Structure 1
Amino acid sequence: MNFDGLWIGQVAMAALMNVSFAFAVGSALLAAWLAKDARQSVSPARPGWTRAQRSMLTATIVLVLADLGWLLYQSASMSGVALPAAFAVVPTVLMQTHVGYGWSVAFGGALVLLGTALSHGTGLLRNVLLWLAVLAVAAGKASLGHAADAGVASAAIGMQTLHVLATSVWGGLAMAAGLAVLPALGASTARGMLIRTAAQVSNVSIVAVALVLLSGIFNAVRGSGGSFEAILSSTWGHVLTLKLMLVALALVLGGLNRMLALPRLRRTASTMDAHTFVNLIYLEALVMIGVFVVAAALSHSVPAFTALG
């Protein structure tokens, strides 16, 4: 593993893919929860729903562009050529490597996801396509990492797909809610909508966190070969440790919101308590962005068991 310009470019594009995909997933969930109440133009839920729709569209556009950028950097890295010359290698990578196959699935899902974001519809067909696209992106992304070494039809791919989905739901809800949607529900007339949406975010996040921890433990054991020493003495292990510290910080912030801020907000419905909840989820969103960036570096680092033989 060389920490050169190509590696940095790959990690940067992968981080952008992680963040944009999660933002799109979180925005889609929030838009679905607010859609019924937002149908009336004067509904207090409408500003939040509009923010969710716009953030989903923006995130899917960024996802498509980041996918293309990552493929170019990956092609240059695999072929050992400079970045401008990688354009000629892209067709070979797409048609003759497992990376190309996995990327094609993820990119196809991203295009469908973009199409659903552009439609702004709420029908059954659109929703089915949206979540099938989310699954395709997650499965494709899982096939681009170390899990693919175990084969396409393997427990490693299945667990990594689950990990990508669960992390995207948890982090995506934090980012979309804290950075876009909940601030748009700050008016006193929207306080009931804010409380209900906050509760939905908290409840779904609990399930997502449980799945993140389950799949994360599986991936950590697999990547380290079951050796704690491998984690302590490898670059991969150091990056994993940083990721775990950020995840722990996000859990603390989420726990404070669920155990303290949300119950108080339900009791008082005050502006101060609403701001406290939104501020905490804003901080959690920033931490989750860090988690996605470190996760990108981790996926482009040599696993501990490989590095130590």
Structure 2
Amino acid sequence: MNFDGLWIGQVAMAALMNVAFGFAVGSALLGAWLAKDGLPGTSPARPGWMRAQRSMLAATIVLVLADLGWLLYQAASMGGVALLAAFGMVPTVLTQTHVGYGWSVAFGGALVLLGTALSHGTGMLRSTVLWLAVLAIAAGKASLGHAADAGVVSAAIGMQTLHVLATSVWGGLVMASGLAVLPALGASTARGMLIRTATQVSNVSIVAVVFALLSGVFNAVRGSGGSFEAIQASTWGHVLTLKLVLVALALVLGALNRSSALPRLRRTASTMDAHTFVNVMYLEALVMIGVFVVAAALSHSVPAFAGLG
């Protein structure tokens, strides 16, 4: 593994893919929860619903562009050529490598997700297509990392797909809520909708966190070969440790909101308590962006088990 410009470019594009995908998933969930109350033009929930729709569209556009950028950097890295010369390598990567196959699935899902973001429907068909696209993106992204070394159909791919989905739901809800949607529900007339949406975010996040941690433990054990010494002695292990620290910080902030800020907001429905909840969510969102960035670096680092021989 060379920490050169191509590696940095790959990690940057992968980080952007992670953040954009999570933001799109979180915005889609929030948009669905707010759709019933947000559709009427005079509803206090409409600004939050509109923000969710716009956030999803912006995130899916970024996702599509980041996918294209990552493919170019990957082709340059695999072909050992400069970035501009990598355009000629792209067809070979797409048609003759498992990376190309996995990327094609993820990119196809991203295009479908963009199509649903551009549509203005709220029916069952749109929802079904949207979540099938999310599943395709998660499966494709899982096939781009080290899990693919175990085979296309393997427990490693399945657990990585679950991990991508769970972290995207958890992190996506936190980012979309804290950075976009919940601040748009700041009016006192929207306080009930803010409380209801915050409760939904908290409850769904708990379930996502459980699956993210379980699948994360599986991936960590597999990546380290079950050796703490390999974690301590490898770059991969150091990056993993940083990711765990950030995850722990996000969990602390989330627990603070759920155990203290949210119950107080339910009791008082005051502006101050609403701001407290949203501000803590904002901080958690920033931490989750860090988690996604470090996760991108981890997926592009040589696993610790490789050093075990």
Alignment of 1:128-147 (within 5 A): 128-147=128-147
The residue type paired with residue 180 of structure 1 is: A
1:191·1:269 contact (CA, 8 Å) conserved in 2?
Answer: yes
Aligned position for 1:117: 117
The residue type paired with residue 83 of structure 1 is: L
Alignment of 1:243-262 (within 5 A): 243-262=243-262
Q: Compute the displacement of 1:104 (Å).
A: 0.1
> After superposition, what is the alpha-carbon deviation per residue over 1:1-56, rounded to whole angstroms, capped at 9, x for unaligned?
00000000000000000000000000000000000011211001100000000000
1:234·1:308 contact (CA, 8 Å) conserved in 2?
Answer: no
Q: Distance in 2 between matches of 1:94 and 1:288?
A: 31
SS of 1:47's equivalent?
A: helix
Aligned position for 1:267: 267
Aligned position for 2:176: 176
> After superposition, what is the alpha-carbon deviation per residue over 1:54-106, rounded to whole angstroms, capped at 9, x for unaligned?
00000000000000000000000000000000000000000000000000000
Q: Distance in 2 between matches of 1:257 and 1:279?
A: 10
Q: Distance in 1 between matches of 2:286 and 2:27?
A: 16
Q: Distance in 1 between matches of 2:298 and 2:40?
A: 45
Alignment of 1:147-226 (within 5 A): 147-226=147-226
Q: Compute the displacement of 1:308 (Å).
A: 3.6
Residues matched between the structures, number: 309
Aligned position for 1:58: 58
Gaps of 5+ in 1: none
The residue type paired with residue 23 of structure 1 is: F
The residue type paired with residue 84 of structure 2 is: P
Gaps of 5+ in 2: none
> After superposition, what is the alpha-carbon deviation per residue over 1:203-223, rounded to whole angstroms, capped at 9, x for unaligned?
000000000000000000000
Percent identity, please: 87
Aligned position for 1:88: 88
Q: Distance in 1 between matches of 2:159 and 2:253?
A: 26
For the aligned residue pairs, the C-alpha RMSD in angstroms reads 0.4
> After superposition, what is the alpha-carbon deviation per residue over 1:94-131, rounded to whole angstroms, capped at 9, x for unaligned?
00000000000000000000000000210111111000
More displaced 10-residue stretch of structure 1: 117-126 or 212-221 = 117-126
1:60·1:114 contact (CA, 8 Å) conserved in 2?
Answer: yes
Q: Distance in 2 between matches of 1:242 and 1:229?
A: 16
Q: Compute the displacement of 1:175 (Å).
A: 0.4
Provide the TM-score with structure 2 as the length reference. Answer: 1.00
Q: Distance in 2 between matches of 1:130 and 1:298?
A: 28
Provide the TM-score with structure 1 as the length reference. Answer: 1.00
Q: Distance in 2 between matches of 1:234 and 1:203?
A: 36
> After superposition, what is the alpha-carbon deviation per residue over 1:205-251, rounded to whole angstroms, capped at 9, x for unaligned?
00000000000000000000000110011000000000000000000
SS of 2:40's equivalent?
A: coil
Q: Distance in 2 between matches of 1:164 and 1:129?
A: 19
The residue type paired with residue 301 of structure 1 is: S
The residue type paired with residue 246 of structure 2 is: L
Aligned position for 1:20: 20
Structure 1: which 4+ aligned runs deviate by more than 4 Å?
Answer: none
Q: Distance in 2 between matches of 1:124 and 1:75?
A: 38
The residue type paired with residue 72 of structure 1 is: L
